[in-house]
Structure formats: structure tokens, C-alpha cells
Structure 1
Amino acid sequence: MDISALVNHDGEASVLPRRSLSHPHSLPASSPVTPAAKIPTPKPSQQQMSLKRKRHDPKPIWAYREGEQLPPELRQLQEQQRQQSRPPPPVVVPQAHSRAQPALPSHPPPPRPQPSPNAERNGHAHSDAGAPPPPAVTASGLSRFARPMFHDAQLYDVVAHEVCEFIWATAVNNEAVRNAIADPKVQLEVEARWGQILEKQTDQRLRGVWNTECVIKSEALDVKFESTMTALQHKRMNHALNAQVQQSKIPGAPRPPIDYRHTYETDMFYELDQEGFSTLNPIVQRLISASGTRQKVRVTRDKNTGDFVRAMIKHRIGNLEISSPKTEWDYRIGINLEIDFPGPVDSLKAALEPGKTLESMQRQKDRMSYSWLGAYQIDLTQVTQGTSKNHELELELDSDILIAEADKVRLKQPTEFEDIISGMMNNLRVASRIITHAA
């Protein structure tokens, strides 16, 4: 039997291709064929009649050839299905709501991560009601080939996500820390240091099977973090930062201004005795006692005038180490409490190491500070103690802004909590590449 006779009325089934509703190589899920109820049941005397469809019966859409005119009702159906198959138009975000980018990156920063600090590290969320929900996807993300098939405009930065979780659990959602910083004499410090993760046995930089940036489980390794760089690296970073300041000050520059400050200070450490300990906030006393660590009071004075600047206790809450084998430096994210010492400093006993003098224990700090957006400050410091000299680079987040944005998460308000941490990570990475790739 010639099957084409059932669907082609002119016998040219092998000459022209069939029409498809949406694609020449696909068939629609259903076709508007004539219902069986409208086809008359053949009588016994008609069984030998031709099975060819009558000319006036409506043809299904798949029976029409390319170029053949469709009847009005099928053209309308075809247009409706085309409209339904089109993707929705993109949402346009007004430029007025775009956020200022950190000043340092010389390359486009990685896409903003979408962490939710209430998620467990294996990716499953727990039931902590105070943790932030996943952020809404904006239209200012990826496009074309870089955009995944699941229509997400943003990608997931797993390292920045881990940092978000660490800061959230260690500081934001830590009841003891939040109670402590309610005292105006206690400040939260969130800092990121450039340095190297060293194996204690070999004193060599930690190497492993990983070849790219990752968070390490430092508690499972016998390692230490050394925050230092060479004098040449210090010089290169100083030039790079100064260039950023100059570029930000150009009239009409499309970037946030960078403020610069140069200070010379001297630090001296003193033992925290029982009398001085009793002058601290009871909440702080409990935190220090629970840590079981020996605390010291750092007294800072202006190097040139000798004027008193500050006396404080720096109490460590937690650290997170990030290995970055592609660059010269690794990173340490530190959460600390800076506690103003309310007692007299003249009665304190100097903390001297065996064989050291009072003068050799003083730390002379030559510090250049670069701050922008009211949220970040990079300190490039040359520290001299006795005959040794060390160069340090650290980035500090403004804790007031960080906590304020984190509290917006709790209130389910629009927040930049993740953006602040993502900006910190971007600046750590770009500054590392500036030094690593320098000629």
C-alpha cells in the first residue's frame, strides 16, 4: 500500500519535505487531526472503496509541504505556539541601582557568589532561623555562552561561599561575640592577611594534590601561617596601590576615591594582670577565661611625638586559611575582638622575652593605609623589632557596615552582606596576581 496516498493528495510525497510546526526535524506533540467521531463508519458495501481522504477534509499540519499555504485556523495555531516557545524578555536593572566596584581589580572580578551562610558545608541547609536566604538573581550576571542552561545569571564561588559561612558562624551568628560588641569599648575585627601557610616540620610552604585556590582544614594539619613578604614585593605593592590612589583622584574618574594615610607608631606589649582583668566587661572576661589563652595589652604611641594612641587587648575568635598555589601568597581570614583597656597602663608589667630588653621588644611600625567605599582598608606595613624587619599586607573590613548588612539578612531586607565579602576576596586575589605576575 502507498502510505503517502493517505496524507498527500497529489502523489508527490517524495518530492517536497513535510512542514513541521517549530523545526524541520521535529514533530509536534499533537496535531489537529479530524476527530474520529466525525468520520462516518463505512458500510459493508464500502469496504472495497478507496481509503484516500476526500479533498474537502481538513489536512493535519504535518501533512502540508514547505511553501504550501496553510488555512487561517492552522496559521493562527502555529503563531500561538511560536509565541509560547519564545523566552521571556530580560529584566533591565536601572543603572542608578548598580553597586560601586572595589577599586583595586585590574581584571573583571569573578561573578558575585550566592552563598547562604546557613548552609552546611556539604551543601544541605540546616534549620537555623537566623541564617540568610539565597540572594535573588539579577540581570547583571552572565550572558550568551557563559550563562548556564539553567538560566542562572550568576555562578557559585565556592571559596567566597565558605568565607561567608565562616564569618556568619564565627561572628554574625555568635551570641557571645554579639553581646561583647554591644559594649562600645569592644570592636569586632574582620581582617584578611596575605602570607603563606607553612608546614611546621619543614618550614616550607604547604603543597598538596590541589592545584587551585581552596579552603584547607588547618585543624587537621600541622601548619602555621606566616604573614610576610620580601622588601621587593613590598615596594611593588606600594607602587601599585599609589597608582590606584592617583587614578581614583582624576576628575571624572568612574571609580570610588581612595584615601591615603601614612603613620609612624610604636607598639609595646604588657602583661594583663588580675587587677587589669577585673576592669574588663564581664562578658569579655568570660570569653577570655573560656579561651584559656594568655592575654597581653598592646600600648600604641605616636613614634615621633610619643603621644598615647591606644591601649587594647586583641582576643582571637577564629581563623580560616585559604591556599592559593597559583600565586605567591596564601590568605588567612581572621575574626578578633579588639578590647579597649580601661585601666592605667603605667602599672602594667612589660612582656619581655628571655634575653630581650625593653627597647628590643618595641615594634616600630611604618604603615601606609589605603581605604575606600567606607568598607575596606588595606594596610601595607614595615615592622622593625630589634634587628629584624618584616613586611606585612592586610585588608580589614569595616565591622559596623558588615554587621549592619548582616542584620538586614535577618530582617529579610535587601542586603550587601555577600557583596562585601566577595569584594574582600576579589581584592585578595587581584593584589596577589599583581605581585606574582610582576616582571
Structure 2
Amino acid sequence: MEATRKRPREEEEDSQDPAAKQRTRPQNSNAPGTTATPASVSQNTSSGATPPTGTPSSSGHQQQRPNQGQHPNPAHPSQPYRPSKLEHAFFGIEVMDDVVKAIGDFLLQYCNQPNVEIEAKLGVIIDNNTRQRLELPVRNEVVLTPNSPYLRYRFVSDMTLILYKHTYEVDQFFQGPGGKVRVTKDQKTNKVIENGIVKKERIANLDVYSPRNAFDFRVSVNVEIPESAPSGTPQFERNKDRISYRLNNFKIDLTQVKSGNASNGNNQPHNYSQMRQPSSNQQDLTHELEIEFIHPEELIRERDIRTNGGARPDRFYEVVGRFVNNIRGLIIQ
């Protein structure tokens, strides 16, 4: 029987190079390292659509994500989330302590004076009606409105007895043409100390009531104007036993004051104390604790930058904050 003749198509395929036939042959889905693509996926790919993520292949394996391996999972996913940077607030604004802001506003108004003195004294605020420490329906520090018609009080800087080494000075007060002149002498040498003759003018006070602590405090702005030596007899004297501590631009003075030889007893310091009651032999003895700027021009310089503008941001309220923080530290000790 005559052999069946091959059709032209089959003859053409037989004449092709064996290597070419191998390239055109479909890959074996069972070959290691290969993944067969379903027909439906191939159609979607050829039309430009992205294959659905996680579509199983014909070999049963999960199809790899396009970006898999570029962003690996955390090594320890069970650890709590810790942001690299903690923001202070939603709007990036750090709100200033309200008492510091009030004291800063007060000093911003009054500190720009020649020969200025900026100090704070610890003491107690006395209600003029009860003659006891002021009681207000508040729990925390509050700044009192100066010269308020609704609250009659006075600030008394007397404290408890403080034990420390004594340095001896005496203040003599003379009546001058423009007011009282203070002459400060060393008791041991009877010589006037450096810058010891001044006329002190009070500019303004701001009182802070602190019910959580044993003491309140008063921030004062004064001007000490140098004067020449006065003549005559002093009206009264204040003998001071004082020790001072310095830290950066602040000085702390612990002072025991004994007043005498006064013609007007109404000007003598009140002898109120939180810890002791007045007695007959202590009526002219007081104990004062105060902190002041050694160089108030630092604060004035920051004030000028704030009000007039400068090459750098001002640190006015930062300096005031350090001042108030030192006051609070003294109170709680």
C-alpha cells in the first residue's frame, strides 16, 4: 500500500531546526523553577490589565506580588509602635506656663529702666480684714491684680528663723530733697560699701498667691539711683546679717533684719510668720529671703530684641521662666 503523503504544513514543521522546535514548544509546568500562567491571566496580561494579586497558578503556587520583597515586614511586628519624633502638640505650639507669661508681661512693661533692680521676695499675703494669710477659692498659683478694689491685702516678707553664717551690714536712712536716701555700711569697718549710697524708687510690684505652699512671693521692679553722701542724723537703721549665694545671673540673699531707732514705728516690717507667732522680744526682728538678677541688663537686652526685632529670636520669656523656676525652688525647700 502506498504510504500516506504528508500534508504541506506537516512537512514544513519537520523541516524546521530541532533547536527552534524546542524554543517554540510549551514549557513543562512540572519543570523546577517554572510557573505556568492560566489562560485567563494570559489574556488579561496581553490586554494591559494587571493580574489579580494572589491568583493561584496552574501548579498550585501563589503568584508573587509585583512589589514583593521591596518592603519586607518588620523584624518584630509584635513590638509597640514608637514614632521617631514626639510632637509637643497637634499644631506644633508649646503653650507657655500661665504664671510665667503673666510675670513676663509685667517685667516686659517695667524692666526697661536705668539702674533697674529686679527681685522677688518670699513671704505671705495677708488679708487686711482677717489679719491672717489670704484664702482664695483656688488650688494653684495665681497672680493677683495689683491695686484691685475687690481685695485688700498686703505682702509681708517675714519668714521663719534661718540659721546661717552672718555677714554684717547696716542700712541708714536719711531724708533727702527727693526722698529717702539709703547708706549701707560694713558694721565691722564702718565704711560705706561699694554702690552703698542710693535712693530707691519703687516702680511696680506683682504678687503671686501660692496656696499649695507655705509661702507666696512678690516680684518687684525698683530703681536705685546713686546719690552723694547725705548729712545729718539718720531717721532709722536696719542691721542686716546676710549671706548670699550666686548661680549664673541670679543671687539669693538670706537676711536677718533688726530694725531700731525709728521715729515712726508704722514703717517697721510686720512680724508675721507662718511658723511662729510674734512675741515681745522679736517685734523688731525679721527674716527675709529674696532672689534678684545680678545683671538685669540681660533681661533688658532680650526685651529689646523682642520689641524691636533682631537677628535671632529673643529669649525673654525663657529667662523669666528660669527666674520663676528658681523662686519656686526656694519655696518648696
Query: What RMSD in Å do the two structures reach over aligned CA positions?
Result: 3.4
**Which residue of the other structure, out of 237, 240, 257, is the alignment partner of 1:383?**
257
Is residue 2:93 matched to residue 1:148?
no
Residue deviations 1:79-137 (CA, integer Å, cap 9, x gap): 9xxxxxxx9965xxxxxxxxxxxxxxxxxxxxxxxxxxxxxxxxxxxxxxxxxxxxxxx
**Which residue of structure 2 lines up, in the alignment, with residue 161 of structure 1?**
101
Residue deviations 1:23-73 (CA, integer Å, cap 9, x gap): xxxxxxxxxxxxxxxxxxxxxxxxxxxxxxx75432688x999x974324x
Specify the structure having the higher radius of gyration (Cα). Answer: 2
Residue deviations 1:161-208 (CA, integer Å, cap 9, x gap): 111111011223xxxx3xxx1xxxxx1000011111111121111111
**Which residue of structure 2 lines up, in the alignment, with residue 429 of structure 1?**
328
**Which residue of structure 1 lines up, in the alignment, with residue 268 of structure 2?**
none
Q: Which runs of 5+ in 1 are unaligned?
A: 1-53, 80-86, 91-142, 182-186, 239-260, 278-294, 352-360, 435-439
Distance 1:394 1:64 in 2: 79
Identity of matched residues, %: 31
Q: What one-letter code is carried by the residue in structure 1 that aligns with 2:244?
A: S
Distance 1:336 1:205 in 2: 25
Residue deviations 1:379-400 (CA, integer Å, cap 9, x gap): 0000011351100000001212
**Which residue of the other structure, out of 347, 350, 357, is the alignment partner of 2:234?**
350
**Which residue of the other structure, out of 340, 355, 372, is the alignment partner of 2:247?**
372
Residue 412 of structure 1, CA deviation:
4.2
Question: Between Structure 1 and Structure 2, which shows a larger proportion of strand residues?
Answer: 2
SS of the aligned residue for 1:362 comes to: strand
Contact 2:176 2:230 (8 Å CA) reproduced? no
Q: Which runs of 5+ in 2 are unaligned?
A: 1-42, 57-61, 74-81, 261-282
Residue deviations 1:272-299 (CA, integer Å, cap 9, x gap): 22xxx4xxxxxxxxxxxxxxxxx31111
Residue deviations 1:330-349 (CA, integer Å, cap 9, x gap): 1111001001113x4114x6
The aligned runs of 1:214-229 (5 Å cut-off) are 214-220=142-148, 221-229=151-159
**Which residue of structure 1 lines up, in the alignment, with residue 199 of structure 2?**
313
SS of the aligned residue for 2:331 comes to: helix
**Which residue of the other structure, out of 219, 224, 230, is the alignment partner of 1:333?**
219
Contact 1:365 1:383 (8 Å CA) reproduced? yes
Residue 155 of structure 1, CA deviation:
4.3
Distance 1:59 1:226 in 2: 84
**Which residue of structure 2 lines up, in the alignment, with residue 300 of structure 1?**
184
**Which residue of the other structure, out of 184, 200, 209, is the alignment partner of 2:137?**
209
Distance 1:169 1:412 in 2: 22
**Which residue of the other structure, out of 293, 302, 318, is the alignment partner of 1:405?**
302
Residue 425 of structure 1, CA deviation:
0.8
**Which residue of structure 2 lines up, in the alignment, with residue 37 of structure 1?**
none
Q: What one-letter code is carried by the residue in structure 1 that aligns with 2:325?
A: N
Distance 2:231 2:314 in 1: 45
- State the aligned residue count: 249
Question: Between Structure 1 and Structure 2, which shows a larger proportion of helix residues?
Answer: 1
